[in-house]
Structure 1
Amino acid sequence: MSRHDAVSNETLETRYDEYMMPIWKSLNVPLRRASDCTVEDFDGNEYLDVFSGISVTNVGHRNDAVVDAAKAQLDEFVHGCSYVHPNRPVADLAERIAEITPGDLRKSFFCNSGTEAVEGAIKLARKYTGSKEVVALEMGFHGRTLGSLALTGNHTYKREMGPAINDAVHAPAPYRYRWGADADSEAAFADRAAAEIEHVIGTHTSDDLAAIVVEPVMGEGGIVVPPKGWLERVAEIAHDHDALLIADEVQTGYGRTGSMFATEHFDATPDILTQAKGIANGLPLGAFTASPEIADAFESGDHLSTFGGNPVACAAALATIDELEGGIVAETAEKGAWLDDELAALEDDFDVVGDTRGLGLMQGIELVDPTETGPRGAAPAPAKALAATVGDELRDRGIIVGVGGYYKNVVRFQPPLTITTDQLDRTLGELRAVLEEVTADA
């Protein structure tokens, strides 16, 4: 088949099967065109996108300002390797990131993806501290290259892929719904979960700690929001061991949680902050940012990226930040608060909805089997098959959501931040209808 021939959903999927290596296709919606919060497939079907390519198109698909900025830069030059030829889009973006990131985070390194940002942040932490070991979280996700995979706390991604970093250990995640039910309060659970990290350092490391790396809100782990006080305590633990706190904001950054960065919800400032996904609204770009003292530990040649800081992507990122600061972040906080209440109502109405949680427009609905006890006995058993069914049924009704979490039982709402309340209300109405249908059949 020629690439100039007519394409349908079926012919496109056939070509993927023939010419592409096996990949994750769980959404199963071939993409022909997208605009703001809607996407269209090759058979003319239109969908409301409530997943935004895994939290990427934060200011909407094909945002005019972002597209115009990228086109304008294309007319100037496309590539010069930002670490060989200094150029204005890179300098402007680096300065802008210094203005919007928390604390004294000031100097950035640009790369192409979140995985690369995490890898680079670990290298910088090792160089600055002179230490090697890293603590990450069980169920955490930091990428699929061998180094970042060593930090990822999920065997699903690791099978037959022995990680290259042997100095990574994992502590329990602050997953209160699953194993925090016996805590007296949120503060008590925060202390207990932080103490687990201290315990892992004492039992699994050799006192050579370079960093603790965490997601402020765990995305692939199932939209797990830590209790207040936990991140602050983790930062203290890192510093007590002369190590750094790395906040992986690849999925949570750029307005997703109702603030520019999720760490702003907590009274803790990371030493290094990683970014990607929403940074350029779909153009490939990643970054990690640190204070001048930490950043200057890198010497010339310690780290490099041929395509990192591509000027077209940087121009798009600058336009994305302008759009976010034009009111989208504040509106995300408001819509998130409304969505919190609406999702909480599902817990009251459906026994299979075990927990709803999130910040801003990063929300999760954990589906359970109330007749079975789950792992560690603190909550009902995860309902993986039910979650898959709900995702499929919503897609058939023209709505794309994510389905994931460590137990694959969490329906994920991570739409473009430009989504309207009416569109969210439509999504909730369809979700409620699906839940009523599938539970009636049980």
Structure 2
Amino acid sequence: MALTAAPSAGDAILRRQRVRESAARTYARSFPIVPVRAHGMTVEGADGRRYLDCLSGAGTLALGHNHPTVLTAIRRTLDSGAPLHLLDLATAEKDDFTTALFDSLPPGFGDRSRVHFCGPAGTDAVEAALKLMQTATGRRGALAFTGAYHGMTAGALAVTGAVEVKSPLPSGGEVTRLPYPYAYRCPFGEGARGAELSATYVERLLDDPSGGVLPPAAMILEVVQGEGGVVPAPDGWLREMRRITTERGIPLIVDEVQTGVGRTGAMWAVEHSGIVPDAMVLSKAIGGSLPLAVVVYREEYDGWLPGAHTGTFRGNTLAMAAGAATLRYVAEHGLVERADLLGARLTGRLDALKGRLPVIGDVRGRGLMIGVELVDPSGEPDRCGAHPADPELARRVRAECLQRGLIVELGGRHDAVLRLLPPLTVTDEQVEAVLERLAEAIEAASR
């Protein structure tokens, strides 16, 4: 009689997860592994296999897994006996984090701003920013963009673009949806000129007395759309949005949850364009791998009454210590400039790969936030010359990547964009390994 190998501990954990956890789980479906150790960019599974992590906690891990600087800050805080939970009371750790945060903010913004500590997820900071501007302006509506992703709570979901996550339940909020510039699949069918048309459309719509748009409480946007497919907004378009909102007294909220802390080759993505927003929503990397979210805003908007936006878990001492250490490490070790350099190297090499692999329709991004859109080259191109997205191929590529020890997640309008979010500490050798494994996976999946 043949002997059957006993299931591994990892297999048993995955089986229990499938039985116990909700059907809404996502990453666990894409990556059926059980991580047991991690350092830097490397994750080791229960089966002993090692993976290069190009997901980085959806951009949370600016310094990668278990960076010594972050661990030292956490251990020091634990050993100090500092209280780990104090609602919104003042602590030395909060004061230090706030100092590090304000020191990092764009010129002209941080020197006259206030910070509000929110619940530990970015979606609550989005809710806080929207509520803040509704309070300040006395208006209710919001301007948001196609392709946007701002979170899963009611207000954040209302300004999110993806129809799938809104369905089947309606989300609240009076939101006017505007066209985001997306040159490869331009909403106007005009490619690179789409940004100019988008700005013209926004301005004329807001000024049209029969346009149906009431004066809004705020405009909210991402400088680079992450879940929307790694779509960077042109700097000129961002400056136009700032001009349009300023001239009409509309507060501008920039969602930097995924783009912040050096990810795009600037400490904050707005710095590429030079615009100064009225509010910035920050989370993910600012907690140094631990949950933390804030909204920073110009002090003239601080019209809240005490308790206007509260929550139990706004005082995560460990996250503040880890976050302060992360912000300073990124600034002091040149990781912002390195993200810009390595991002250019990666996109350049991927562009070259596109020349011999026609299933790569577009390569785009900023810094170490890169998207590779996969297409069906046999399909009929649209007016911009873009072939149909190929989500099935993208899923096969993701699986082939995992087989080769590379963790890459999908995004974009049709889940056909490979998203690369390596830690800012990625080495030159790891960059080469990512490129090699990714190229092999695309070739294998497209045969």
TM-score tier by shorter-chain length is over 0.9
Asked if structure 2 preserves the Cα contact closer than 8 Å seen for 1:9 and 1:30, the reply is yes
Asked if structure 2 preserves the Cα contact closer than 8 Å seen for 1:210 and 1:242, the reply is no
Aligned CA RMSD, in angstroms, stands at: 1.9
Normalising by structure 2, report the TM-score.
Answer: 0.92
* Within-5 A mapping of 1:186-335: 186=192, 188-201=193-206, 202=208, 205-294=212-301, 296-325=302-331, 326-335=333-342
Q: Secondary structure at the match of 1:370?
A: coil
Task: Give the distance between the partners of 2:205 and 2:318, measured in 1 at CA.
Answer: 43
Task: Give the distance between the partners of 1:360 and 1:181, measured in 2 at CA.
Answer: 27
Task: Give the distance between the partners of 1:199 and 1:369, measured in 2 at CA.
Answer: 36
Question: Quick check: 1:432 aligned with 2:439?
Answer: yes
Alignment match, 2:349: 342
1:126 equivalent among 127, 134, 140: 134
Give unpaired runs (5+ residues) of structure 2: 1-6
Alignment match, 1:79: 84
Closer, same or farther in 2 for the Cα pair 1:205/1:88, shift >3 Å? farther
Task: Give the distance between the partners of 1:161 and 1:268, measured in 2 at CA.
Answer: 36
Q: Counterpart of 2:97 in structure 1: which amino acid?
A: L
1:150 equivalent among 158, 172, 178: 158
Alignment match, 1:13: 14
Normalising by structure 1, report the TM-score.
Answer: 0.93
Alignment match, 1:51: 55
Could you tell which deviates more after superposition, 239-248 or 386-395? 239-248
Asked if structure 1 preserves the Cα contact closer than 8 Å seen for 2:288 and 2:319, the reply is no
Once the two structures are superposed, what CA deviation does each residue of 1:3-53 show, in whole Å capped at 9, x if it has no partner?
A: xxx972211111212222221122333221111000011111110111111
Asked if structure 2 preserves the Cα contact closer than 8 Å seen for 1:122 and 1:211, the reply is yes
Asked if structure 2 preserves the Cα contact closer than 8 Å seen for 1:98 and 1:107, the reply is no
Q: Secondary structure at the match of 1:254?
A: coil
Could you tell which deviates more after superposition, 396-405 or 91-100? 91-100
Asked if structure 2 preserves the Cα contact closer than 8 Å seen for 1:109 and 1:288, the reply is yes
Task: Give the distance between the partners of 1:189 and 1:362, measured in 2 at CA.
Answer: 22
Q: Counterpart of 1:44 in structure 2: which amino acid?
A: G
Closer, same or farther in 2 for the Cα pair 1:29/1:269, shift >3 Å? farther
Percent identity, aligned pairs only, is 34
Q: Counterpart of 2:16 in structure 1: which amino acid?
A: R
* Within-5 A mapping of 1:341-420: 341-373=348-380, 378-420=385-427
Deviation at residue 426 of structure 1 after TM alignment: 1.1
2:148 equivalent among 126, 140, 143: 140
Alignment match, 1:3: none
Task: Give the distance between the partners of 1:136 and 1:60, measured in 2 at CA.
Answer: 32
Deviation at residue 257 of structure 1 after TM alignment: 0.6
Task: Give the distance between the partners of 2:52 and 2:131, measured in 1 at CA.
Answer: 40
Could you tell which deviates more after superposition, 234-243 or 203-212? 203-212
1:421 equivalent among 421, 424, 428: 428
Once the two structures are superposed, what CA deviation does each residue of 1:255-293 show, in whole Å capped at 9, x if it has no partner?
A: 111111111111311110011111122100011101111
Question: Quick check: 1:172 aligned with 2:190?
Answer: no
Deviation at residue 183 of structure 1 after TM alignment: 4.0
Task: Give the distance between the partners of 1:352 and 1:231, measured in 2 at CA.
Answer: 31
Deviation at residue 376 of structure 1 after TM alignment: 6.3
Closer, same or farther in 2 for the Cα pair 1:286/1:205, shift >3 Å? farther
Task: Give the distance between the partners of 1:272 and 1:205, measured in 2 at CA.
Answer: 26
Task: Give the distance between the partners of 1:200 and 1:35, measured in 2 at CA.
Answer: 50
Could you tell which deviates more after superposition, 362-371 or 7-16? 7-16
Deviation at residue 162 of structure 1 after TM alignment: 1.6
Q: Secondary structure at the match of 2:379?
A: strand
Alignment match, 1:96: 100
Deviation at residue 359 of structure 1 after TM alignment: 0.6
Asked if structure 1 preserves the Cα contact closer than 8 Å seen for 2:179 and 2:187, the reply is no
Asked if structure 2 preserves the Cα contact closer than 8 Å seen for 1:78 and 1:312, the reply is no
Asked if structure 2 preserves the Cα contact closer than 8 Å seen for 1:37 and 1:60, the reply is yes
Asked if structure 1 preserves the Cα contact closer than 8 Å seen for 2:35 and 2:45, the reply is yes
Asked if structure 1 preserves the Cα contact closer than 8 Å seen for 2:278 and 2:297, the reply is yes
Asked if structure 2 preserves the Cα contact closer than 8 Å seen for 1:170 and 1:200, the reply is no
Asked if structure 2 preserves the Cα contact closer than 8 Å seen for 1:146 and 1:161, the reply is no
Q: Secondary structure at the match of 1:268?
A: coil
Closer, same or farther in 2 for the Cα pair 1:404/1:375, shift >3 Å? farther
Deviation at residue 410 of structure 1 after TM alignment: 0.4
Closer, same or farther in 2 for the Cα pair 1:327/1:372, shift >3 Å? same
Closer, same or farther in 2 for the Cα pair 1:133/1:378, shift >3 Å? farther
Task: Give the distance between the partners of 1:279 and 1:204, measured in 2 at CA.
Answer: 39
Q: Secondary structure at the match of 2:370?
A: strand
Deviation at residue 207 of structure 1 after TM alignment: 2.4
